[in-house]
Structure 1
Amino acid sequence: MSARILVVDDVPANVKLLEARLSAEYFDVMTAANGTEALAISRRAECDIILLDVMMPDMDGFEVCRRLKTDPATHHIPVVMVTALDSPADRNRGLEAGADDFLTKPVSDVVLIARVRSLTRLKMMTDELRMRAITSLEIGMQAPERSAIADTGKGGRILLVDDRQSSYERLATILAAEHTIDVEPNPTEALFHAAEGNYDLLIVSLDLNNFDGLRLCSQARSLERTRHVPILAIADPENSTRLLRGLEIGVNDYLLRPIDKTELLARARTQIRRRRYTDHLRDNVQNSIEMAITDALTGLHNRRYMESHLATLAEQAATRGKPLALMILDIDYFKSINDNYGHDAGDDVLREFAVRVRKSIRGIDLACRYGGEEFVIVMPETDLHVAGMVAERLRRSIAGEPFAIHKGAKRIEVTISIGLTTLERKGEAVADVLKRADTALYRAKHDGRNRVVSQAA
């Protein structure tokens, strides 16, 4: 899908010019004549990037940008200020307001399109993460927008790759006022250093001696450990063409020498804030995946995960000609624990039960909460005899030591019944194996509980 660009300018001729340039590159272009209109369009999530003029009648571009970047609904939309203002103070004011870039008119078509493409790629990647994280909000996880808005972008870990001593000493001194800085003057070691350092930002000089800085940027983008670390490139003015090439291969931002101190700090903060926000989104997605397959109370896998993963384990066992053992465990008289001591005590028992289960099985075994007080343990490459020994050890572990409830104020006796079977016939349905184990469990409970009953295939 083509990116949607919002052009905000109160001068119709400027709007028409930008619209023609962008449309020629197959972008969808929207326009707004003032800041109020731009804010309304942005809040409706109708654009992927905003090209924003500064000098406008109702509110200037600096104020529009500040409002965009402090609104949870719009803070993630890239903003590029395109203006006739050209002083360092204006540029820094725009960056401090949260702009992702500040381009001075007249803007080269090549520079404009390269910047727009770079930022829209980043926006679409962020949108995908945001979409995946919607489930996280639905299951009660905290949205990262508020923390992203409050983030100052300071306190980051930065790796500076520059082999000119006079240059890296000055840059490191500036950045050290807000961040932790490591300097790597040897570009051949830089990628290894970056991969091991857990950095929030890489700053790479493209004017390295006897080494192609763009190749280093490309390698950082292809390596798993550094793929998501933002890159800020620095080059001499005559190397602006290489900077544009850098944007195409994944460089996030750039600076031309001589470096303005305030601009360097502002651009570093912007990239670090964005890194933290996307990391938070990825963490939410990962946590939501884990929560979807994990029982919240016990920390064991849930029934949904067990049913899907058991089929895979059974197929592997059949293919390799290996046995697969399965046991269903039920906590004896669990209802009476809830009735006599309260549901909090029942939860205490379930949590401690899960702890003892983990201690009794191998890392390759699969332990799941099947429902209520029932649990399933699947043991790959385990025959009925060995599985029986494990089940008996687990039964003794539960019965041998009372369970603490009510924060340790009381201890109660708990026992379990276990039904055990194996999958040994190729092609047997896992539902049949579960049914056989459940039948064995029923026998264990019928025969007096606190025992293991095996049923062969």
Structure 2
Amino acid sequence: MSARILVVDDVIPNVKILEAKLSVEYYDVVTAYNGADALKIAEEQLPDLILLDVMMPQMDGFEVCRRLKADQRTAHIPVIMVTALSEAADRVQGLESGADDFLTKPVDDLALFARVKSLLRLKMMMDEFRLREETSSELGVISMSDRKEEAIQRARILVIDDNEYSVRMMKEIYAETYDITLEPNMEEAQVLLRGGDYDLAVISLDSATYDPLRLCSKIRSFEETRQLPILTLVDESDKDKLLKGMDIGINDYVMRPIDTNELIVRTRTQILRKQYQDRLRHNFHRSMELAVTDSLTGLYNRRYMSNHLDAMLQRAKMDYKPVCVLIMDIDFFKNVNDTHGHDVGDDVIKEFSCRIGTSVRGIDLACRYGGEEFVVVMPDTDLSVASGVAERLRRQIAEKQFSASNGGVVLDLTCSIGVTVSREKEDSESLLKRADEALYKAKRDGRNRVVAAPANVEVFEKAQGVAAR
């Protein structure tokens, strides 16, 4: 995967070495030799990742990172700090300033590219969700003002470790802040992960009873856990295993002996990122749902119904099974709005849609076609069955009064329904047109009735001619 990477270091040879290594892997590299230039380039060019030296004059890497994360335009750019500092306190300071990871000089090539690839994969996915959220907001589907800042909501952590001492330590560190589940068995852990809504999996890479990398691989292969952050506990002797794990999809790690503060900060970072990612994904699915549903009734809208009907007719051609369509219209609905106002009219529309929902089958698709018109698409259904459903719905509308939500208005209403069935080599436009013609015939014949139009057009047209005479 190609990406633009900003390398920041006040020592020119360090910059040139990293630039050469990254260029060989076909990354587009830009460089800066101080913090001020780094901030300017990051704002103007919006790189995909920043490799940031810590020890720089005037403005150190910690301050640069804090400013990057405070700016909404650059806050989501991953930052890897490259430093000669190796103390846990320095890593904690960097993580608290917003850094995503650390590399210690001299930089190991395998570790460098493992971290770069891992963070770039994550950024690409998050960028896609953010773009969709922004597009949905611009279209008015969702409101960005409704979003809240991410906060840890008593997150759930599953610790998978068969070392009793390590497990006790995890329990002491996490117990006050998180809901923690401890599981030494890999098979049981998989069951728990797929059935529970966890925010983080903490996995020891040093196990005598299971293959931790196999477990990480399975977590990434299951749909339910594919996006679950994985934090690993690593011994110095397990570095090769760690690098393979980074390729599999491990998000972060803590080296043993474990520094409590570093573990706490890295845990918090992963959980906040997970909650932010969940919010983006929720907004995306919500925007998709709102894009295909009618805001007043919750039924599918006309655009979705048309696409769905086209797909259903294509399937019907292969299965040789008919598709029926009902089009219904509330009789004299204009009088409701003119006499009682649009609020009462909206109440009627909502109640009408509820009655449709209780009258049709689970496999049927109900939608608001526009105004006071509704459509029900019925797959694998012949005309007699569809006519029976339409008649039942007509009676439910006519026999039970409609009440406005304020309780001040009670109305007796009826509806007219046109029904037809698909024929061979027919598209959705033609099918809907024939159902619409049946609806208009029901209205011309006096309303509060069901008119069924058979697939044989000539039969229906002859019947219309007789009715007109």
> Structure 1, residues 52-73: CA drift from partner, whole Å, max 9, x if none?
1223334322222222223332
Aligned match of 2:467: none
Is the contact made by 1:366 and 1:378 (CA closer than 8 Å) also made in structure 2? yes
Aligned match of 1:12: 12
> Structure 1, residues 356-383: CA drift from partner, whole Å, max 9, x if none?
1000000101111111111111112222
Aligned match of 2:461: none
Q: Post-superposition shift, 1:313?
A: 1.6
Q: Post-superposition shift, 1:447?
A: 1.5
Aligned match of 1:200: 199
> Structure 1, residues 316-364: CA drift from partner, whole Å, max 9, x if none?
2332222322111011111111111111221111111111100000010
Aligned pairs for 1:57-456 (under 5 A) are 57-140=57-140, 141-143=142-144, 147=148, 150-153=149-152, 155-423=154-422, 425-456=423-454
- Give me the whole-angstrom Cα distance separating, in 1, the residues matched to 2:238 and 2:443: 79
* 46-55 or 31-40, larger mean C-alpha shift: 31-40
Give the counterpart letter for 1:394 in structure 2: L
User: TM-score, normalization: structure 2?
Assistant: 0.92
Q: Post-superposition shift, 1:142?
A: 3.7
Give the counterpart letter for 1:448 in structure 2: G
Q: Post-superposition shift, 1:281?
A: 1.5
Give the counterpart letter for 2:90 in structure 1: D
User: TM-score, normalization: structure 1?
Assistant: 0.95
- Give me the whole-angstrom Cα distance separating, in 1, the residues matched to 2:203 and 2:80: 22
Give 5+ residue unaligned stretches, structure 1. none
> Structure 1, residues 11-54: CA drift from partner, whole Å, max 9, x if none?
32322222122222222111123333323333345211111122
Is the contact made by 1:402 and 1:411 (CA closer than 8 Å) also made in structure 2? yes
Q: Post-superposition shift, 1:95?
A: 0.9
Aligned match of 2:22: 22
SS of residue in 2 equivalent to 1:75: coil
Is the contact made by 2:46 and 2:74 (CA closer than 8 Å) also made in structure 1? no
Give the counterpart letter for 2:166 in structure 1: S
Give the counterpart letter for 1:43 in structure 2: E
Aligned match of 1:2: 2
RMSD over aligned Cα atoms: 1.8
SS of residue in 1 equivalent to 2:448: coil
Give 5+ residue unaligned stretches, structure 2. 456-469
- Give me the whole-angstrom Cα distance separating, in 1, the residues matched to 2:35 and 2:406: 58
- Give me the whole-angstrom Cα distance separating, in 1, the residues matched to 2:272 and 2:146: 11
Give the counterpart letter for 2:229 in structure 1: P
* 177-186 or 108-117, larger mean C-alpha shift: 108-117
Q: How many residues align?
A: 454
Q: Post-superposition shift, 1:145?
A: 11
Q: Post-superposition shift, 1:175?
A: 1.6
Give the counterpart letter for 1:108 in structure 2: D
Is the contact made by 2:34 and 2:59 (CA closer than 8 Å) also made in structure 1? yes
Q: Post-superposition shift, 1:399?
A: 1.6
* 216-225 or 374-383, larger mean C-alpha shift: 374-383
> Structure 1, residues 56-105: CA drift from partner, whole Å, max 9, x if none?
33432222222222333222211111122222221111111121112222
Give the counterpart letter for 2:162 in structure 1: D
Give the counterpart letter for 1:451 in structure 2: R
Give the counterpart letter for 2:34 in structure 1: N
The 4+ residue runs of structure 1 with deviation greater than 3 A are 142-147
Give the counterpart letter for 1:449 in structure 2: R
Q: Identity, % of aligned pairs?
A: 56
> Structure 1, residues 103-159: CA drift from partner, whole Å, max 9, x if none?
222222221222112111211122222233333222332449964xx4344621111
- Give me the whole-angstrom Cα distance separating, in 2, the residues matched to 1:338 and 1:36: 63
- Give me the whole-angstrom Cα distance separating, in 1, the residues matched to 2:77 and 2:256: 28
